[in-house]
Amino acid sequence: MSQGIFVTGTDTGSGKTEVAVALLQGLGRSGLRAVGYKPVASGADPIDGILQNDDALALQRAGAPGVAYADLNPYCFSPAIAPHLAAREAGVDIDADRIVAHYRRLAGQADWVVVEGAGGWRVPLSDGFDMRALALALGVPVVLVVGLRLGCINHALLSEQSILDSGASLLGWIGSAVDPAMARPDDNIRSLRQVLAAPCLGILPRDRSEAAVDAVAARVQDAMRAQLESGL
């Protein structure tokens, strides 16, 4: 049976794509067929006659071969603006059923599907529909990426509370080193471990070493296995 996770972040630029790519690479090296899924993306250029987004392309490259771009990124918009504004400008209604259908198609050909959201947990996609609703429609556990920089503790706490309040299953959080100039990173990581209810699934350093990537991917697999065994 295919397994899936929804990767969200504390905000834009928190390192979601880097974490999703790392998970795909680590899962792949463990012998699993893992594919990426970017349901909605804004900020794209035409390639081979269709709009393609850099983050979605990174997921395609990191995942198992044989997945068409149109399948892993059903909604892609040219301007690099908020998705709901880009969709409105393009006259497109982002449809949850279509997103779920694409997910199921990918799940039918993979062991794992790593879904990457856009922006943070509450980013709107259309009137009454946001990233939170999208994750709930997919029905997969959530991994919160915490961009390690000034202000991350507050952002992480607010994001975690919103995820838990929504009823979604929060598998854990991953710290992503996005700011090389961050002061006292180790102290901040210790504080995050203390204040967040969800377990830490690992910290991805800026060098994204193979050992660090594989360790995080293994922890995610262990957390998923434990959740399935507990029946949650």
Contact indicator for 3, 111 with CB cutoff of 8 Å: yes
* Three-state secondary-structure class, residue 193: helix
d(CA 165, CA 168): 8
Tell how many helices (H) and how many strands (E) occur in the chain. 9, 12
Contact indicator for 148, 12 with CB cutoff of 8 Å: no
Which residues touch 169 (CB under 8 Å, ≥6 apart)? 141, 142, 227, 232
d(CA 214, CA 209): 9
Q: Which of 5, 16, 26, 38 is catalytic?
A: 38
* Three-state secondary-structure class, residue 181: coil
Quick one: DSSP state of residue 10? S
Active site residue 16: no
Active site residues: 38
